[in-house]
Chain A
Amino acid sequence: MNNPSINFHVQAHQTDFRIPTELIKKNFKSIQKLIEKQKKQVYEDVAKIKKNPKLPATIKLEMIRKLIRGFDQYSKKLAQAIEKDREYRSRLLARIDNLKVLEECCLAEATAILSEAKEEEQLNGEGKTDDLVDPKPTEEILPSNDKFLDLHNPKLINWYRDQTNLLIVDYLIKSNIKKDRNIGISLLKNFAKTDPKFLKLIDYDLFENFNKVFVSIIVDHDLTQIISWFNENRAVLKKSGSNLEFEINYCKFLSLIEKGDINEAINFSKLNLSPYGNKENYVDNEVKNHELNWNRLKEIGGLLVYMAIKNTSNSTTTASTFSSSLIINSSRFKEYEKLLSDERWENLSQSFLTNFIKLYAISQNYPLFIYLSIGLSSLKTKSCYRNTENTIFRCGHEVQDLQNINTKDKKFRSPEYYYKILNKNNNCPVCSPELFEISQNLPHAQLITNIFNNPFKLPNGNIYPFDKLLIPSEKYLSEKNTLLRMGKVKDPLTSEIFMIDNCVRVYPA
């Protein structure tokens, strides 16, 4: 399973099917509730009518009209819910269709990849003939129900382009930090202008809402959104042993303390926190939560003392007693300080994140990061360097002027320089200054020798691809052609001129 196959992509897109199904399920539950509620109402009303068969017609009419109004509303709500369901189903459909594109981009047979690899080796020249005899270990057998993808197919590459854009949108929506807007959503809408299917391929609304709740916690220090999110998903969360409710209450308690509403904090804790101390209130899968919560609850008393000390030390600004300054500098005191710092919001946001991820079986890391980390590690070579030219962002320090240099200096033979001097574009993504930074801590890929064809060494040690070095240029009278006619060649880097007879073909592998 080392080469990309259809099955692998299907597996990697699992979440894309999970989320809409979860949403369908959630919506389904609300439909169920809607029906039950309506049923209760209707049954009551009908019972009333039944009980008094002798009611005057006007009153009966009134009651029937009430029933109709009720049903009208029910019907509208139902229609809305069904519309939602339809939207989620359309996403599933769009995603299946999106994966089906892959079926058109397969290699005819699993073995095709092998023969192709051999072909390429042959093209790469001699020195590798043994490999043809001895089949490479990369040979793999796929299960009969899978197919390798044909990376030569431009359709597939374009498919990957769309995937990349989706990954970027996903990252941007989730990682947004602004309250008033979400750049990921704007980008998605931009994409959707030319290709509306983008809106179906990502659960942008869910992620946007997730991001809003997250930002409301860490930026606004506001609990309203997380509370309502919790209530919305209470049943499912409870089932999975979530500790989020405690975290919310605990955070609220700390906020009350911080505000100085000690009495209210105590009342709040009596009502909302103390039940967490009781082990019987936990189900089996929550034992860990109990321990965790219990330890934190034990500290609450100390926290109150801390508040008391802090208040007194604040009020007596002059000469504080030795003992109180001792306390203030104790590590315990610092811990309480930390407890009341912004850290609680971070903790709560992390707890929310964990719950959200678990609920929808989303990967813990942004998928963009996963693919980027793998991609950069696979592409990172020991020849990579920070290619400051490959960007539109200009940094303070300017690029060295390469016009008046002695190109015979050996340092200019390293890729860092020779690309620039030779006016050659470096297309390596790891060399682009931004990704170069991001890939700093990643390993290098293990590669095999891959030198241009026919490496040709000039007497000064520079090895060039023979064809490019010696192919005559279009203009008959060009310098290059004139030299060629004399059996000479000019080193493009150092401008030295050599007899071709003094140059040799070398064999790197």
Chain B
Amino acid sequence: MSETLLDTLSVEVDHLIGSGERELNLLQSESDSLLHYLQEIEQSLVKNIELESDTATTDTKQLDNLTKSWYNGSIGHLKSYNSSINRCYKSVLSNSKFNIDLDDAYSYPLRLDNFPVSVTPTITKYLDVELEKDIEDRKTVVRIKNREYLLKSIILHLLKIGQCDIVEEFVKELPLDSEVTIDQSLLNKFERLKTIVDNIVINHDLTQALEWFKDKYNESVSLSSGISLASSSYHSSYNEIEFKFHMLQFILLLNGNGTDFCIENSLKAYLYSKENFTRFFKDYLHELSPLMTLLLFETDKNYDEGTDVFSQKHVKGMVGVFLEKLKHSYNLEISSRGANQGESRFVYELLNSFERIHDNQALFVNLSNEFISEYCKDLKLSNDSSLFQSILAGLIYLPSFYKYKKIQMKMNKVLEEKPKDADLEFLESFGEAPYHYDLPFQLPDSNRFLFNYHPIFVCPVSKDQLVPGLQYYGNQSSLNPSSGPQVSPVVVLNFCNHVALRESIWQLSKKGTEIFKCHYCYKKHEYSNVTDAYFIDL
């Protein structure tokens, strides 16, 4: 078992830091002690002058020696610090094991400048004149616009992470453009979000968040009693996350303000649960019961002030054992049950740290993130910062891109790969990537669960990815012209219900002339034995 890179790094950095602290302190003290000595000489000279005895000759030899030893000492400390610095260079900074060049993973450059660019009036002029400009100018325009887009997505990111006080500054960075306006009402809502989130994360105060949930609940109740929207019933209500908030609030009440439990807190928590938990009984009985059990320990602990220390200890110990058992069995239960996994984990975490709930800062941070996502959903915005999600994907998939580039470089293919240059140049300047322009490698699938935003259909025959927009369909080649413009790109085979792209079936049936077999089950079909299909997620 070899050391991890992090271990090596940590050891080396520690060494450097230790050496710096030590040697530089010594350096300082060398100077201090010399200074001290000089001051002594000064005082003795002053005394001599006062005594007007010129006899006491200062020991110049000693002065000489001391300054020399100051110098030699200082240089010595420097030298040994220097060797630590060099060691760090050698074992880490110049060590090829630690070396990767991030630039190597940048195979698909964004149309953005890698250095500060001042937007001069001459360039802004072009922004309106989109066409009839030479490529260089169009490139510049695209780059300037993209910088603007990036800044906007940063602004959205900041809003969603609760940094809205700085957003005003950012808006000043955007080029003045009358076309773009900011939705002020949304902006105001983000200010409310910030207060709520700050309250959760900093003050551990959930009241405002709970209030928001209450508002939303009432809204939805009044909505559904009226004319129900066609779709409203397809969305999960706020149940899951709201449940977590109520549970945490219960625990917070149980904890009270002080450090010790007391009966009043239990009462508060009990009343709270009575008022708020009923709604969740149906779905969350399993989670509720162990939490409610916590109420009992309360009274146990403060059973009687008169009880002697021994019995208090005894009770405490018993409670501890019982709690452990409770947690354990609960944990076992979670894994055996499928439903409500996320919520169950949360309750488990609550059980785990209910006495020190305020120390579990991560719990509050995570919950606030979940709240943000719920809040954004309500505003019809995506549930997380798009910029963060993209960067997250970048952080996760960077190894694949890097590896691909390295393999390419090893095979010296980088230069030969360039016949696409014209294409790339075009893309680089202003084009849209065509639909056949794919990454040349597949990404590992294990972390894809973070990013399932669209239902994806890849044709089992042609391996092409479905382009679901009908408007693009006209661009695809060689389709049955008689089928008209509004045909679906996906079809279901009538006899076996397997799905494929129409294009593939068209090819399989030799342009509709022959009987073909299903790619999976070999059932025979004609081209006319297929029906249109559209994937629609709810």
Q: Mark interface residues in A228-245 (1 if CB within 8 Å of B CB, else 0).
A: 000000000000000000
> With A367-B102, A383-B467, A463-B534 as given contacts, are A190 and B163 in contact (CB-CB < 8 Å)?
yes
Question: What B residues does A218 contact at CB under 8 A?
Answer: 116, 118
Closest residue to B45 on the A side, CB-wise? A61
Which residue from B42, B362, B498 sits with its C-beta under 8 Å from A61? B42
Closest residue to A442 on the B side, CB-wise? B108
Most buried by B among A56, A375, A410, A464: A375
Q: Is A141 among interface residues, defined by CB-CB distance under 8 A?
A: no
Q: Mark interface residues in A6-48 (1 if CB within 8 Å of B CB, else 0).
A: 1110111010011001001100100110010001001100100
Question: What B residues does A214 contact at CB under 8 A?
Answer: 115-116
Nearest chain A CB to B348 CB, angstrom units: 14
* B182-A383 in contact (CB<8A): no
Question: What A residues does B75 contact at CB under 8 A?
Answer: 35
Closest residue to A451 on the B side, CB-wise? B455
Which residue from A4, A11, A421 sits with its C-beta under 8 Å from B99? A11
Closest residue to B442 on the A side, CB-wise? A446
Complexed CA–CA distance, A61 and B452 (Å): 82
Question: What B residues does A375 contact at CB under 8 A?
Answer: 389-395, 397
* A78-B28 in contact (CB<8A): yes
Complexed CA–CA distance, A165 and B161 (Å): 10
Question: What B residues does A330 contact at CB under 8 A?
Answer: none
Question: What B residues does A79 contact at CB under 8 A?
Answer: 28
Q: Is B411 among interface residues, defined by CB-CB distance under 8 A?
A: no
* B383-A463 in contact (CB<8A): no
* A446-B169 in contact (CB<8A): no
Q: Is B522 among interface residues, defined by CB-CB distance under 8 A?
A: no
* A381-B454 in contact (CB<8A): yes
Question: What A residues does B6 contact at CB under 8 A?
Answer: 6-7, 10, 99-100, 102-103
Which residue from A85, A187, A462 sits with its C-beta under 8 Å from B536? A462
* B398-A371 in contact (CB<8A): yes
Question: What B residues does A286 contact at CB under 8 A?
Answer: none
Question: What B residues does A415 contact at CB under 8 A?
Answer: 454, 468-469
Which residue from B108, B448, B492 sits with its C-beta under 8 Å from A373? B108
Q: Is B156 among interface residues, defined by CB-CB distance under 8 A?
A: yes
Complexed CA–CA distance, A198 and B112 (Å): 26
Complexed CA–CA distance, A299 and B88 (Å): 47
Which residue from B78, B181, B388 sits with its C-beta under 8 Å from A31? B78
Complexed CA–CA distance, A89 and B88 (Å): 12
> With A11-B100, A61-B42 as given contacts, are A379 and B433 in contact (CB-CB < 8 Å)?
no
Q: Is A333 among interface residues, defined by CB-CB distance under 8 A?
A: no
Complexed CA–CA distance, A344 and B435 (Å): 41
Q: Is A425 among interface residues, defined by CB-CB distance under 8 A?
A: yes
Q: Is B449 among interface residues, defined by CB-CB distance under 8 A?
A: yes
Closest residue to A371 on the B side, CB-wise? B394
Question: What A residues does B455 contact at CB under 8 A?
Answer: 383, 450-452
* A160-B395 in contact (CB<8A): yes
Nearest chain A CB to B174 CB, angstrom units: 9
* A381-B24 in contact (CB<8A): no
Question: What B residues does A446 contact at CB under 8 A?
Answer: 438-439, 441-443, 465
* B453-A428 in contact (CB<8A): yes
Question: What A residues does B443 contact at CB under 8 A?
Answer: 2, 378, 445-446
Chain A stretch 466-482: residues in CB contact (< 8 A) with chain B: 468-469, 473, 475, 478-480
Closest residue to A509 on the B side, CB-wise? B460
Question: What A residues does B228 contact at CB under 8 A?
Answer: 478-479
Q: Is B513 among interface residues, defined by CB-CB distance under 8 A?
A: no
Most buried by A among B156, B454, B466: B454
Most buried by A among B169, B224, B386: B386
Question: What B residues does A21 contact at CB under 8 A?
Answer: 16, 85, 88-89, 93
* A506-B497 in contact (CB<8A): yes
Chain A stretch 422-469: residues in CB contact (< 8 A) with chain B: 422-435, 437-438, 440-452, 455, 457, 461-465, 468-469
Kindly specify which of B30-38, B287-295, B316-324 makes contact with the partner chain.
B30-38
Complexed CA–CA distance, A160 and B389 (Å): 10
Nearest chain B CB to A36 CB, angstrom units: 9
Q: Is B9 among interface residues, defined by CB-CB distance under 8 A?
A: yes
Kindly specify which of B246-254, B264-272, B298-306, B424-432 makes contact with the partner chain.
B424-432
Chain B stretch 1-58: residues in CB contact (< 8 A) with chain A: 1-7, 9-10, 13-14, 16-17, 20-21, 24-25, 27-28, 31-32, 34-35, 38-39, 41-42, 45-46, 48-49, 54, 57-58
* A168-B157 in contact (CB<8A): yes
Chain B stretch 397-444: residues in CB contact (< 8 A) with chain A: 397-403, 427-428, 431-433, 435, 437-439, 441-444
Q: Is A157 among interface residues, defined by CB-CB distance under 8 A?
A: yes
Complexed CA–CA distance, A385 and B63 (Å): 81
Question: What A residues does B31 contact at CB under 8 A?
Answer: 71, 74-75, 78
Q: Is B196 among interface residues, defined by CB-CB distance under 8 A?
A: no
Complexed CA–CA distance, A281 and B170 (Å): 49
Q: Mark interface residues in B202-235 (1 if CB within 8 Å of A CB, else 0).
A: 1000000000000000000000100011111111
> With A61-B45, A411-B471, A446-B442 as given contacts, are A427 and B380 in contact (CB-CB < 8 Å)?
no
Question: What B residues does A426 contact at CB under 8 A?
Answer: 382, 453
Complexed CA–CA distance, A445 and B438 (Å): 6
Kindly specify which of B129-137, B145-153, B351-359 makes contact with the partner chain.
B145-153
Which residue from A71, A219, A416 sits with its C-beta under 8 Å from B35? A71
* B391-A368 in contact (CB<8A): yes
The prevalent SS among residues of A at the interface is helix
Most buried by B among A74, A414, A442: A414
Kindly specify which of A62-70, A263-271, A288-296, A321-329 makes contact with the partner chain.
A62-70
Nearest chain A CB to B466 CB, angstrom units: 7
Question: What B residues does A396 contact at CB under 8 A?
Answer: 179
Which residue from B38, B159, B229, B399 sits with its C-beta under 8 Å from A71? B38
* A163-B395 in contact (CB<8A): yes
Complexed CA–CA distance, A28 and B74 (Å): 12
* A435-B153 in contact (CB<8A): yes
Complexed CA–CA distance, A408 and B395 (Å): 42
Closest residue to A138 on the B side, CB-wise? B444
Nearest chain B CB to A272 CB, angstrom units: 26
* A381-B234 in contact (CB<8A): no
> With A370-B105, A392-B187, A428-B453 as given contacts, are A78 and B1 in contact (CB-CB < 8 Å)?
no
Closest residue to A151 on the B side, CB-wise? B447
Nearest chain B CB to A354 CB, angstrom units: 10
* A57-B45 in contact (CB<8A): yes
Question: What A residues does B453 contact at CB under 8 A?
Answer: 379, 381, 426-431
> With A372-B394, A426-B453 as given contacts, are A46 and B64 in contact (CB-CB < 8 Å)?
yes
* A177-B116 in contact (CB<8A): yes
* B388-A161 in contact (CB<8A): yes
Q: Is B195 among interface residues, defined by CB-CB distance under 8 A?
A: no
Question: What A residues does B333 contact at CB under 8 A?
Answer: none
Which residue from B82, B100, B166 sits with its C-beta under 8 Å from A187? B166
> With A11-B5, A423-B232 as given contacts, are A4 and B102 in contact (CB-CB < 8 Å)?
no
Kindly specify which of A112-120, A246-254, A300-308, A309-317 makes contact with the partner chain.
A112-120
Nearest chain A CB to B52 CB, angstrom units: 9
Question: What B residues does A468 contact at CB under 8 A?
Answer: 234, 538
Q: Is B514 among interface residues, defined by CB-CB distance under 8 A?
A: no
* B486-A411 in contact (CB<8A): yes
Which residue from A3, A39, A65 sits with its C-beta under 8 Å from B71? A39
Nearest chain B CB to A182 CB, angstrom units: 10
Question: What A residues does B78 contact at CB under 8 A?
Answer: 28, 31-32, 35
Question: What A residues does B535 contact at CB under 8 A?
Answer: 451, 455, 463, 508
Question: What A residues does B441 contact at CB under 8 A?
Answer: 446
**Known pairs A174-B116, A427-B453, A444-B465. 4 more at Cβ < 8 A?**
A6-B4, A50-B63, A117-B446, A394-B180
- List the 7 closest pairs (A to B, CB-CB), nearest first: A371-B394, A375-B394, A428-B453, A429-B386, A375-B393, A375-B390, A432-B386
16 contacts between A and B (CB under 8 A): A3-B446, A10-B9, A68-B38, A71-B34, A75-B32, A96-B10, A145-B2, A168-B154, A375-B395, A376-B390, A377-B401, A379-B393, A410-B486, A430-B390, A441-B432, A506-B499
